[in-house]
């Protein structure tokens, strides 16, 4: 049963208070399929709950310049900040929807921000479901950045293609040269696939150039979702969150940022048949090129040649993950209503 967050009179979702406890709450279990998995996740490691009680957590991103985690609670239209020793607090509200018609606060309605990322200048960028755009808050984040509550200045990076509104941008990844890749399924629209406000008859994967030029890279995926780049930035990975084609695709990246013909990197159909919970969703790549991909069963750990080494079996729908912490070796995971973390012996790309 979903736990609905209480709303303040001002309309800002209240955060659940964690009860004091002597021992951490452990989420799910660790499934080890190959000895090489132990070199990435120590035998004693567990996925520990650090925050919880939300409706649907997503968009985890670590702010290196501030030493804290940010994540989206999409139905509550809010970005949450979590910092060691301080806990969770509201950081951005409204996070993805500024319309006058009331939305959010219940499962299935996803007006808020989804994917979050830090741009090369250290500013927060958001895939905004309700406002159907990719936007940026024009402040370089740091340890003392104050919360963005209420009216704030945002710069729209992308909202239409060939004169037609985007669906609801979902997830994104920055290239080191300033290119931005993002996906655009309609999950943030009120009636999703059948929403009358929908202007595109496809779900796209896009490239936004630093000069503002927006290019459609492919519209062949039925439900493009999570997106990531390999360490050498020569491969673009895209998750397809379709129960009838639950795959991760790999596309070669051309010198101009466009992509070549894609191939199936990993097919999770056997996990769907085994009734594992979840679909291909958000993902991150470590410094060795391993893919840490949320999907059926929790977080799958795949080698660069697509061998499944094991997974973090959360037991719940799992939406996204990111590396962070002081040295980039802690994996933070959006597990349905909760946020978990686990220590690894690798590091995330960019650390």
CATH of the domain at 92: 2.120.10.30
pLDDT at 213 (0 to 100): 98
List, in sequence order, every residue forming a beta bridge with 133; answer none if it has no partner.
128
Please check whether residue 25 lies inside any domain of the structure. no
What is the Cβ-side half-sphere exposure of residue 341, based on CA atoms within 13 angstroms?
20
Instruction: Give the Cα separation of 268 and 242 in Å (integer).
Output: 10
Residue 29 lies in a domain: no
Quote the pLDDT of residue 31.
Answer: 98
* Short-list 336, 333, 302, 329, CA closest to 320: 333
Task: Determine the Cα–Cα distance for residues 182 and 219; give it in Å rounded to an integer.
Answer: 12
* CA distance readout (Å), 315 to 94, 294, 335: 30, 12, 9
β-sheet bridge partners, residue 238: 227, 249
Classify each residue of 264-300 as buried b or exposed e, where b means 16 or more C-beta atoms within 10 Å of its C-beta: ebbebeebbeeebbbbbbbbbbbeeebbbbbbbbbbb
Question: How far, in Å, CA of 249 to CA of 221, rounded?
Answer: 9
Q: How does pLDDT run across 103-147, given as a tens digit for each residue?
A: 999 899 999 999 999 999 999 999 999 999 999 999 999 999 999
Domain assignment present for 134: yes
123 within domain boundaries: yes
What is the domain count for the chain? 1
Please report whether residue 181 resides in a domain.
yes
Alpha helices by DSSP H, listed for 216-308, are 269-273
The answer to whether residue 31 sits within a structural domain is no
**Which ranges in the chain belong to alpha helices (H)?**
269-273
Residue 154 lies in a domain: yes
**DSSP code at position 16:** P
**Is residue 242 in some structural domain?**
no
* Rounded Cα–Cα distance for residues 88 and 69 (Å): 9
Q: Which domain holds residue 205?
A: 57-219
pLDDT of residue 23: 83
Intervals of the chain under pLDDT 50: 1-21
């Amino acid at each position: 049963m979903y736990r609905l967050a209480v709303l303040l009179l001002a309309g800002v979702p209240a955060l659940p208070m964690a009860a004091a406890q002597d021992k951490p709450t452990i989420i799910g279990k660790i499934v080890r399929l190959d000895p090489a998995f132990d070199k990435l996740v120590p035998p004693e490691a567990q996925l520990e709950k650090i925050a919880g009680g939300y409706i649907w957590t997503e968009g985890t991103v670590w702010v290196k310049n501030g030493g804290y985690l940010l994540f989206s609670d999409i139905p509550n239209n809010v970005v949450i900040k979590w910092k060691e020793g301080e806990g969770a607090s509201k950081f951005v509200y409204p996070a993805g929807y500024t319309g006058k018609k009331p939305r959010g606060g219940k499962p299935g309605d996803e007006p808020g921000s989804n994917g979050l990322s830090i741009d090369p200048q250290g500013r927060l960028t958001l895939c905004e479901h309700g406002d159907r755009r990719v936007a940026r808050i024009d402040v370089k984040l740091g340890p003392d950045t104050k919360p963005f509550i209420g009216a704030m200045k945002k710069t729209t990076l992308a909202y239409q293609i060939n004169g037609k509104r985007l669906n609801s941008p979902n997830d994104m990844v920055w290239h080191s040269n300033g290119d931005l890749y993002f996906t655009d399924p309609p999950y943030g629209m009120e009636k999703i696939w059948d929403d009358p406000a929908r202007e595109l008859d496809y779900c796209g994967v896009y490239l936004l150039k630093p000069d503002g030029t927006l290019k459609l890279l492919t519209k062949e995926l039925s439900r493009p979702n999570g997106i990531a780049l390999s360490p050498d930035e020569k491969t673009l990975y895209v998750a397809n969150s379709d129960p009838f084609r639950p795959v991760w695709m790999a596309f070669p990246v051309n010198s101009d940022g466009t992509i070549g013909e894609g191939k199936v990197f990993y097919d999770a159909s056997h996990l769907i048949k085994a009734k594992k919970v979840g679909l291909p969703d958000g993902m991150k790549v470590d410094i060795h090129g391993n893919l840490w991909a949320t999907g059926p069963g929790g977080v799958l750990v795949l080698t660069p040649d697509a061998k499944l080494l094991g997974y973090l079996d959360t037991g719940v729908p799992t939406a996204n993950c990111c590396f962070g912490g002081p040295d980039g070796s802690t994996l933070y995971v959006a597990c349905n209503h909760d946020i978990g973390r686990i220590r690894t012996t690798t590091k995330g790309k960019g650390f």
